[in-house]
Structure 1
Amino acid sequence: MLDTKPVSCKSLGDYYHVDGKLLEEQYVHFLSDYMTWDQREHAEEWMLFEENLGEYISIDETALSQGELYTVITNKAAKGKKGALIAMVKGTKSEDVRKVLERISARKRNNVKEVTLDMAPTMERIAKHSFPKASLVTDRFHVQKLAYEAVQDMRIQYRWQAIEQENKEIELGKETGMRYIPEVLDNGDTIKQLLARSRYLLFKPESKWTPTQRRRAELLFERYPDLERAYELALQLGRVFHSTKDKGLGFTRLAQWYDKAEKAGFKSFQTIARSIQSHYLTILNYFDNRSTNASAESFNAKIKAFRSAFRGVRNNSFFLFRLSNIYA
């Protein structure tokens, strides 16, 4: 089976012992169709492939080079292959993206039935204006991610406290002439190490813990019961999306979780609860078709892999040309 991974001109040059830079210049100007590409003049600002517009689409942002953000609209039906890329616009300003999408006729845009997106207000404005007949679906994984990030934020705060306590005890030891010996738990961790090494287990359900992680979690929750409560809250939010198929029931279960988050007294979870309240209509739309933004995230990962294969992006326009050849 042929290897279809992209290869840089430099790699080809190294392999065949020729000047890779010269080979790249020859490819750009003579061997490829780049110089006659109909979108070359404006590619760095925007690209549009309206023939790829489908009924179910995703909208997301991605970093192309040096943190430069682009808004990307993709067709879910293409499953990340040829025909997936609908539009790519530099920046995330809703006005700029809307101007590009308005080049597609209103009749075609009105045929879009569903748009999945994250919780960014700019993305929602783009979707509402450009695809007025479509149902907007907030990606469930972005909602869950907020909860897991809140748990990690608590863990990091406790770790800073442990580091500060250790520093104080070291200073006290120097003043009293006594050597500081940190407390070592039965699994071999110090308190500071316990908090640092618990990062990954807090992203996973208990059923997926290894025996080592299970013991570490027991020691962690024994000392920090609030962290256990926050971890359980994050898991419960995930279960709402995973186990609920009816929209009405989803509304009830999200309301119950909202109530628990408010009563828990954790500031970060109260913030998440208010975010859910602000986006509850589009979050509830998930239960209609159980649609997510996974295809957009996958597409972003492919762009990053493509960029990595060429060791970064030196010529944005030509990079976008090659990207469009594969995905548009």
Structure 2
Amino acid sequence: MGGFYGVNGKKLQRQYKDQLSDFKTWEQKPHAKQWLIFPENIGRYLSIDETALSRGELYTIITNKKAKGKKGCIVAIFSGTKVEPIIEQLLQIPAKKRAKVKEITLDMANSMKTIARKCFPKAIQVTDRFHVQKLALEALQDIRIKHRWDAIDMENEQIKQARLKQKSFTPKTFDNGDTKKQLLARSRYLLYKAPSNWTENQYQRSKILFEHYPDIKLAFKLTQRLRDIFNKAKSVEVAYTKLAHWYKDVENTGFKAFNTIANTININYRSILNYFINRSTNASAESFNAKIKAFRSQFRGVKNIEFFLYRLTTIFA
């Protein structure tokens, strides 16, 4: 943009930082690298999540859902995810303000739950449904990947044996032209989607995949049933019953990865069931994280964390 007006971009940025903005006199500058708090932005519905600002360094961010990712959405930003210093700073906010919070959405990290419980004691904790579904999808993909490695090992062994016999090797293909290795690799994306969203090619590939790998078919059905519970259950009671049946079916499969998910859901079932009260998700926090990444890429990374946070909070806090 600076080049369009015949101004050197780096020089303009330096002048903005040193002269045009109030960055040097910014009252939060002394502690900006550790924490930033804006108590005036606290609302009834909050989200808490973590994101990477620079070089993979994680920051914990609390946002106000009502602001919808615009001015006034940032409630607090903390360097790292360590619980004690975050709680220490949040407790500096008057209890009356913190008591305003009625609901807070988060993931299944114990650190997030502890922060929410101690700093916003009157708020209902809601585990984000998409984090739960993501665990199930990862377990499904884990089964597919194991079969893929087996297929690669088998094909490598067949190639080796063919070479020892001085013969050429041509792998067998299915009706859609995929080899076993290709079938497992190319099935990745269709397993993320509901069957109603499959293309004709994906439908054909799924039919072959499920015929040859019944465990993948069973795992896929489990992930779809979990998705349907979140989509279709109309009350906490109905969801509780359906999750209990789902949990029992998972135990019967013997899938280690899915048993881990089922146990995780069992441990966090109260906050997971709270989703069915207002059907709240952490989508606003994820959306804000995307905005931070776009903001970061626009300025070609984060060279000065303090100045980056100053610009970020100037726009969003």
Query: Who is 2:139 aligned against?
Result: 150
**Is 2:168 the counterpart of 1:179?**
yes
Query: Who is 1:229 aligned against?
Result: 218
Match of 1:110 among 82, 99, 106: 99
> Gapped runs of 5+ residues in structure 1?
1-11
**Is 2:234 the counterpart of 1:245?**
yes
**Is 2:53 the counterpart of 1:72?**
no
| Distance apart, 1:67 and its partner CA | 0.3
Q: How does 1:288-327 map to 2 (within 5 A)?
A: 288-327=277-316
| Distance apart, 1:150 and its partner CA | 0.6
Q: How does 1:196-275 map to 2 (within 5 A)?
A: 196-275=185-264
Distance in 2 between residues matched to 1:188 and 1:311, nearest whole Å: 43
TM, length-normalised to structure 2: 0.98
TM, length-normalised to structure 1: 0.95
Q: How does 1:116-195 map to 2 (within 5 A)?
A: 116-195=105-184
Match of 2:268 among 279, 285, 301: 279
Distance in 1 between residues matched to 2:24 and 2:44, nearest whole Å: 33
| Aligned AA (2:231) | H
Aligned residues: 317
Query: Who is 1:59 aligned against?
Result: 48
Percent identity, aligned pairs only, is 57
Distance in 2 between residues matched to 1:288 and 1:236, nearest whole Å: 20
| Aligned AA (2:66) | A
| Distance apart, 1:17 and its partner CA | 4.2
Distance in 1 between residues matched to 2:211 and 2:202, nearest whole Å: 14
Query: Who is 2:37 aligned against?
Result: 48
Instruction: Tell me the SS of whatever aligns to 1:41.
Output: helix
Distance in 2 between residues matched to 1:17 and 1:231, nearest whole Å: 57
| Aligned AA (2:195) | E
| Distance apart, 1:315 and its partner CA | 0.9
- Render the CA deviation track for 1:19-69: whole Å, top value 9, x for unaligned: 322222111010112112111111111111110000110100000010000
- Render the CA deviation track for 1:245-269: whole Å, top value 9, x for unaligned: 2111111111111111111111000
| Distance apart, 1:16 and its partner CA | 3.7
**Is 2:89 the counterpart of 1:89?**
no
> Gapped runs of 5+ residues in structure 2?
none
Query: Who is 2:27 aligned against?
Result: 38
